[in-house]
């Protein structure tokens, strides 16, 4: 993870520059007015990873400039991380520095926090860890009010949990999310809430069913279920699917099914090209999927998934990579028009910008 140059006084200017870049990048399309959703100007990242540098008796966090892993930059403050991470991370490294049982061959510290104030710390080692390490960690958990995970090659030790419970407030309603260590979660919680509310707004008049690809642990899926008769979603990560299933129960949602399978397999099932026991009893033929939601990885949608999403009347496309979004839209806009287009500043002070596109059949 690169170190951004955080300049709160220039935030508006920098965001405007990014939006102008998006307008230029998508100039080949007939775009509506772009909706802009900004970020807090500082302390916005709920998760962060830091290398640990051993320098004689000293121990500290470092980051690197993009493309340069030879010249570490020492961190004694970090304005991008959440308030919960910031209040713990520097005192924590001092405690670790003074304890050889925890410090020895530690090479990275990962933080996962929530808007609700929970914090999970993962310590990564270039040496085996055991129950002695676990005993040494226990005072840290009690002192800082954190959960801790230790990782070494082929081993994971947990003190006491390997997850946090997030509470997102969406249009005044609270949703509970179990977020598991070392699995994907949205890094900017405030912007994430805005993204979900935007997705709820554009689908508020839906009357049929929703199919979702790349659903993760249910970030969009859980709140969106209220706008549809039935929701079927897929995700390839076993950890995320388990969390999603728990989140469905936690939020008392009864019209949502999560399938553990890649998007390509669900596409094949929906096209009648594949049969699998994973969809047994779902009666997919009775579903009236009029809307599809896709939130793909940076590589975007594969050709078969593009063909599949073009079958639906309405498409909600959440993109973390404008470049592949642009490529995918070239095909999708053959059959659909862009009704709404939004940008979400998940990563302030970087060139990254999340986009949301709502398309309807021409």
Query: Catalytic residue at 320?
Result: yes
CA atoms within 13 A on the CB side of 183: 23
For 295, counting Cβ atoms within 10 Å of its Cβ (0-12 exposed, 13-18 middle, 19+ buried), the class is buried
Q: Give the model's confidence band at 9: pLDDT under 50 very low, under 70 low, under 90 confident, else very high.
A: very high
Kindly state the average pLDDT of the residues 326-342: 97
User: How do strand 106-113 and strand 119-125 relate by DSSP bridges?
Assistant: antiparallel
Per-residue model confidence (pLDDT) at position 360:
97
The answer on pLDDT for 264 being more than 90 is no
DSSP string, 326-347: HHHHHHHTTTEEEEEEEEE-SS
Per-residue model confidence (pLDDT) at position 242:
95
Catalytic residue among 77, 320, 334, 339: 320
The answer on pLDDT for 21 being more than 70 is yes
Chain segment 49-76, per-residue pLDDT in tens: 999 999 999 999 999 887 787 889 999 9
**Which is nearest to 286 in space by CA: 195, 209, 174?**
209
DSSP string, 97-154: HT-HHHHTTEEEEEEEE-TTS-EEEEEEESS---HHHHHHHHHHHHHHT-EEEEEETT
Chain segment 125-184, per-residue pLDDT in tens: 999 999 999 999 999 999 999 999 999 998 999 999 999 999 999 999 999 999 999 998
What is the chain's mean pLDDT, rounded? 94
3-state secondary structure of 277: helix
Handedness of CA 60, 64, 70, 71 (dihedral sign): negative
Q: Tell me the C-alpha distance between 186 and 179, whole Å.
A: 10
More confident residue, 2 or 87: 87
List of residues 6+ apart from 84 with CB closer than 8 A: 113, 114, 117, 118, 119
Q: What angle do CA 64, 67, 69 make, to 5 degrees?
A: 45
Q: Give the model's confidence band at 1: pLDDT under 50 very low, under 70 low, under 90 confident, else very high.
A: low
Kindly state the average pLDDT of the residues 252-279: 87
CATH 3.40.50.150 intervals, the chain: 8-41+188-361
Instruction: Kindly provide the b/e burial profile for residues 44-83, where b requires at least 16 CB atoms within 10 angstroms of the residue's own CB.
Output: bbbbbebbbeeeeeebbbebeeeeeeeebeebeebebbbe
Q: What angle do CA 196, 165, 88 make, to 5 degrees?
A: 110
List of residues 6+ apart from 350 with CB closer than 8 A: 2, 4
Q: Give the model's confidence band at 268: pLDDT under 50 very low, under 70 low, under 90 confident, else very high.
A: confident
Q: Tell me the C-alpha distance between 206 and 56, whole Å.
A: 62
For 264, counting Cβ atoms within 10 Å of its Cβ (0-12 exposed, 13-18 middle, 19+ buried), the class is middle
Per-residue model confidence (pLDDT) at position 70:
80
CATH 2.40.50.1070 intervals, the chain: 47-164
Query: Catalytic residue at 78?
Result: no
Per-residue model confidence (pLDDT) at position 273:
83
Q: What angle do CA 241, 182, 221 make, to 5 degrees?
A: 35
Chain segment 183-196, per-residue pLDDT in tens: 989 999 999 999 99
Q: Tell me the C-alpha distance between 39 and 194, whole Å.
A: 10
The answer on pLDDT for 335 being more than 70 is yes
More confident residue, 233 or 273: 233
Per-residue model confidence (pLDDT) at position 14:
96
Q: Tell me the C-alpha distance between 228 and 224, whole Å.
A: 7
Kindly state the average pLDDT of the residues 78-84: 96
Catalytic residue among 166, 181, 235, 354: 354
More confident residue, 4 or 126: 126
Q: Tell me the C-alpha distance between 63 and 69, whole Å.
A: 9
Task: Determine what percent of the chain is predicted with pLDDT higher than 90.
Answer: 83
Is residue 144 a contact partner of residue 90, using CB atoms and an 8 Å limit?
A: no
Per-residue model confidence (pLDDT) at position 234:
92
| Domain spanning 8-41+188-361, CATH architecture | 3-Layer(aba) Sandwich (3.40)
Per-residue model confidence (pLDDT) at position 2:
62
DSSP string, 186-223: -S-HHHHHHHHHHHHHHTTT--SEEEEES-TTTTTHHH
List of residues 6+ apart from 20 with CB closer than 8 A: none
Is residue 49 a contact partner of residue 1, using CB atoms and an 8 Å limit?
A: yes
Q: Give the model's confidence band at 80: pLDDT under 50 very low, under 70 low, under 90 confident, else very high.
A: very high
Helices 131-144/83-97 angle, 10° precision: 130
| CATH code for the domain defined by 47-164 | 2.40.50.1070
């Amino acid at each position: 993870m690169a170190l951004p140059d955080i300049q709160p006084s220039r935030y508006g200017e920098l965001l405007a520059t990014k939006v102008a870049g998006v307008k230029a990048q998508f100039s080949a399309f007939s775009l509506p007015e772009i909706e802009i959703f900004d970020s807090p100007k500082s302390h916005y990242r709920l998760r962060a990873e830091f290398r640990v540098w051993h320098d004689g008796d000293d121990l500290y966090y470092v980051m690197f400039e993009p493309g340069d892993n030879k010249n570490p930059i020492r961190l004694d403050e970090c304005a991008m991380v959440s308030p919960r991470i910031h209040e713990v991370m520097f005192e924590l490294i001092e405690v670790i520095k003074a304890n050889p049982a925890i410090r020895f061959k530690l090479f990275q510290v990962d933080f996962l926090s929530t808007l609700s104030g929970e914090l999970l710390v993962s310590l990564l080692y270039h040496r085996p860890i055991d129950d002695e390490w676990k005993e040494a960690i226990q005072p840290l958990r009690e002192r800082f009010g954190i959960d801790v995970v230790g990782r070494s090659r082929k081993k994971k030790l947990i003190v006491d949990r390997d997850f946090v419970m997030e509470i997102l407030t969406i249009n005044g309603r609270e949703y509970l999310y179990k977020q598991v260590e070392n699995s994907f979660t949205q890094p900017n919680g405030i912007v994430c809430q805005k993204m979900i509310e935007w997705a709820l707004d554009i689908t508020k008049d839906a009357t049929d069913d929703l199919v979702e690809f790349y659903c993760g642990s249910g970030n969009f899926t859980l709140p969106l279920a209220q706008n549809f008769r039935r929701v079927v979603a897929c995700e390839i990560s076993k950890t995320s699917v388990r969390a999603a299933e728990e989140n469905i129960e936690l939020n008392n949602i009864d019209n949502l099914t999560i399938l553990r399978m890649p998007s390509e397999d669900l596409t094949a099932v929906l096209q009648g090209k594949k049969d699998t026991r994973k969809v047994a009893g779902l009666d997919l033929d009775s579903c009236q999927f009029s809307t599809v939601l896709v939130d793909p990885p940076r590589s975007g949608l594969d050709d078969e998934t593009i063909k599949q999403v073009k079958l639906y009347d309405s498409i909600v496309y959440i993109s973390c990579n404008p470049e592949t979004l642009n490529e995918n839209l070239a095909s999708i806009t053959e059959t659909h028009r862009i009704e709404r287009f939004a940008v979400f500043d998940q990563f302030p002070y970087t060139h990254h910008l999340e986009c949301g596109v709502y398309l309807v059949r021409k």
